[in-house]
Amino acid sequence: MLILECPYCGVKAEETELHAGGEAHLKRFGPGSSDDEFHDYLFMRENPKGVHFERWRHVNGCGKWFHAARCTTTLEVFGTYTAQTSAPPQEIRDAITAKRPGWSWREFE
């Protein structure tokens, strides 16, 4: 059972206090988008073996959504960070690079 540190309230929360919210950094496509764009936005998800970015909500806690960068094979957590960003911050990317040189995920690396 994972532990993730909520970046808003600092609680090292176990999974029962959290709600998993799927992949992070999705770009919303609304009216005016093509069928392919909308399809990809709604359905196409990364399923990496290794570095992954996810959304979590500290639901039994401060109620805030946050982002987590972790490894899907070892469950190592590289860091958690604000939900109010459309890209992983540099310090998170650096933390991943230190552990997984050469990583890439969608358009990020």
Partner 1 sequence: MRSPPNAPAGAGGSSNDPSPNPICRRLLEKVRSMSTRLANQGRLIDRSKPIEFTFNGTRMTGYAGDTLASALLANDQLLVGRSFKYHRPRGLVASGAEEPNALVGLGTGDRFEPNQRATTTELFSGLSAQSQNHWPSLEFDVGVVNNKLARFLPAGFYYKMFIHPRPFWKHIYEPIIRKSAGLGQAPDQELKDADTYEHFYFFCDVLVVGGGVAGLQAALVAAKSGAKVLVLEQNAHWGGRAPVDGGMIDGDYPEAWVEQALAELTAMENVTLRNRCMGAGVYDHGYALGYERLTDHAPGQGGPRHRMWRIRAKQIVTATGAIERPLSFAGNDVPGVMLASAMRDYVVNWGTAPGKRVVVATNNDDAYRTALTLHEAGIEVVRLLDTRETGGGALMAEAREKGIRVECGRGIAKVKDGKCVTKVAICAQNGQGGAQEEVEADAVAMSGGWSPVVHLWSHCGGKLIWDDAQAHFRPDPERPPLGADGTGFVVAAGSANGPLELGHVLADAAEAGAKAAKAAGFEAEAKPATGAAQDEAPMQPVWLMPARAEIDLRMKAWLDFQNDVKVSDVQLAAREGFESVEHTKRYTTLGMATDQGKLSNINGLAILADSLGSEIPQVGTTTFRPPYHPISMGAIGGEARGEIFQPLRKTPMHDWHEANGADWEPVGHWRRPYAFVRAGESVKEAVSREILNTRQNVGLLDASTLGKLIVKGPDAGRFLDMMYTNMMSTLKVGKCRYGLMCSENGFLSDDGVVARIDEDTWLCHTTTGGADRIHAHMEEWLQTEWWDWKVYVANVTEQLAQVAVVGPKARMLLEKLNAEAGGGMDVSKEALPFMEWKDGEIGGFTCRAYRISFSGELSYEIAVPASQGQAFWDALMTAGEEFGVMPYGTECLHVMRAEKGFIMIGDETDGTVIPQDLGLNWAISKKKEDFIGKRAQERSHMVDPDRWQLVGLETLDGSVLPDGAYALGNGVNANGQKNTIGRVTSTYHSPTLGKGIAMGLVRHGPKRMGEVIEFPGTDGTTYKAKIVDPIFYDKEGEKQNV
Partner 2 sequence: MSDPLSALAGARYAGLATIEEAGLQGMITLRGDLSSKTLQKAVKAATGAAVPQTRRIAVSDTGAVAWMSPDELLLLVPYAEVVDKTAALTDALSGDHALAVNISDARAVFTLSGAGAREVLGKICPVDFDVSAFKPGDFRRTRMAQVAAAFWLDEAETFHIVCFRSVAQYVFNLLMASAHPQSKVGVY
Site string for partner 1, 38-67 (x = CB under 8 A): x---x------------x-x-x---xxx--
- Residue 77 interacting with partner 2 (CB under 8 A): no
Number of residues that bind partner 2 (CB under 8 A): 13
Q: Rounded to an integer, what distance in angstroms lies between the CA atom of residue 21 and that of residue 56?
A: 5
Place of tokens 């969608």: 106
Residue 10 near which of partner 2, partner 1, none (CB within 5-8 Å, type-dependent): partner 2
Select from partner 1, partner 2, none the partner in contact with residue 103, using the beta carbon and a kind-dependent cut-off of 5 to 8 Å. none
Identified binder of partner 2 from the candidate list 19, 23, 55, 62, rule CB under 8 A: 62
With binding defined as CB under 8 A, does residue 16 bind partner 2? yes
Tell me which long-range contacts 72-78 makes (C-beta under 8 A, separation of at least 24): 72/48, 73/49, 75/2, 77/2, 77/3, 77/4, 78/51
The region, left, alpha or beta by phi > 0 then psi within -120 to 50, assigned to residue 50 is: left
Length reported for the chain:
109
> Given the rule CB under 8 A, which of 25-33, 45-53, 101-109 is the region that contacts partner 1?
25-33
